[in-house]
Amino acid sequence: MSNTILVGAQWGDEGKGKIIDVLTEVADVVVRTQGGNNAGHTVHINGQKFILHLVPSGILRKNKVCVIGNGVVVDPVSLVEELKDLSNLGIKIKGNLHLSETAHLVLPYHRELDSQRERAKGKNKIGTTKRGIGPAYADKAARTGLRVLDLIQPERFKAKLAERIRENNGILKAFGAEPLSFKKVHDQYRAAGDYLKPFVTNTVILLHAAAQRGDNILFEGAQGTFLDIDHGTYPFVTSSNTTAGGACTGSGVPPHRIDRVVGVMKAYTTRVGEGPLPSENAEIADMLHAMGREFGATTGRPRRCGWFDAVATRHARIVSGIDELAVTNLDGLDSVQTLKICTGYRDGRKRLDYIPSDVEALARCEPIYTELAGWMAPTDQATKWKELPRRARDYLHTIADLTGAKLKIVSVGPGREQTIFVE
Ligand code: IMP
User: How many angstroms is it from 390 CA to the middle of ligand 1?
Assistant: 36
What is the rounded distance in angstroms from the CA atom of residue 13 to the CA atom of residue 280?
Answer: 15
Residues with CB under 6 Å of ligand 1 are 12-13, 38-40, 126-129, 131, 133-134, 222-223, 227, 236, 238-239, 272-273
Please report the beta strands in 207-298, taking only residues with DSSP state E, as ranges in sequence order. 217-220, 260-266, 269-271
194: annotated active-site residue: no
Could you tell me if 253 and 280 lie in one domain? no
Whole domain around residue 49: which residue ranges?
4-100+199-262
**Protein residue with least CA distance to atom 12, ligand 1:** 273
Could you tell me if 307 and 367 lie in one domain? yes
DSSP class of 422: -
pLDDT tens for residues 371-388? 999 999 999 999 999 999
Q: Determine if the peptide bond prior to 378 is cis (ω within 30°).
A: no
Q: 235: closest CA among 389, 396, 398, 121?
A: 121
From 38, 51, 234, the mutation candidate for ligand 1 (largest count of ligand atoms within 8 A of CB) is 38
Helix (H/G/I), strand (E/B), else coil: 95: coil
CATH label of the domain that carries residue 283: 3.90.170.10
User: How many angstroms is it from 120 CA to the middle of ligand 1?
Assistant: 18
**Protein residue with least CA distance to atom 15, ligand 1:** 38
DSSP class of 178: P
Residue 48, pLDDT score = 85
User: How many angstroms is it from 295 CA to the middle of ligand 1?
Assistant: 13
Atom of ligand 1 nearest to the CA of 131: 3
Atom of ligand 1 nearest to the CA of 40: 19
CA angle 164, 165, 168 (to 5 degrees): 85
CB 163 within 8 A of CB 148: no
From 131, 226, 227, 242, the mutation candidate for ligand 1 (largest count of ligand atoms within 8 A of CB) is 227
Residue 1, pLDDT score = 62
Beta strand pairing call for 104-105 and 73-74: parallel
User: How many angstroms is it from 242 CA to the middle of ligand 1?
Assistant: 11
Low-confidence residues of the chain: pLDDT under 50: none
Could you tell me if 141 and 226 lie in one domain? no
41: annotated active-site residue: yes
CATH label of the domain that carries residue 113: 1.10.300.10
CB-CB neighbours of 71 under 10 Å: 25
What is the number of structural domains in the chain?
3
Length of the chain: 423
User: How many angstroms is it from 274 CA to the middle of ligand 1?
Assistant: 10
Q: Determine if the peptide bond prior to 235 is cis (ω within 30°).
A: yes
Q: How far is CA 160 from CA 132, 150, 165, 168, 191, in A?
A: 19, 8, 9, 12, 16
- Rounded to the nearest angstrom, the gap between the alpha carbon of residue 6 and the centroid of all alpha carbons in its chain is 10
Residue 297, pLDDT score = 77
Show which of 196, 214, 248 is a domain's final residue.
196
Could you tell me if 247 and 108 lie in one domain? no
Helix (H/G/I), strand (E/B), else coil: 383: coil
Could you tell me if 296 and 382 lie in one domain? yes
Helix (H/G/I), strand (E/B), else coil: 159: helix
Residue 200, pLDDT score = 98
From 272, 303, 328, the mutation candidate for ligand 1 (largest count of ligand atoms within 8 A of CB) is 272
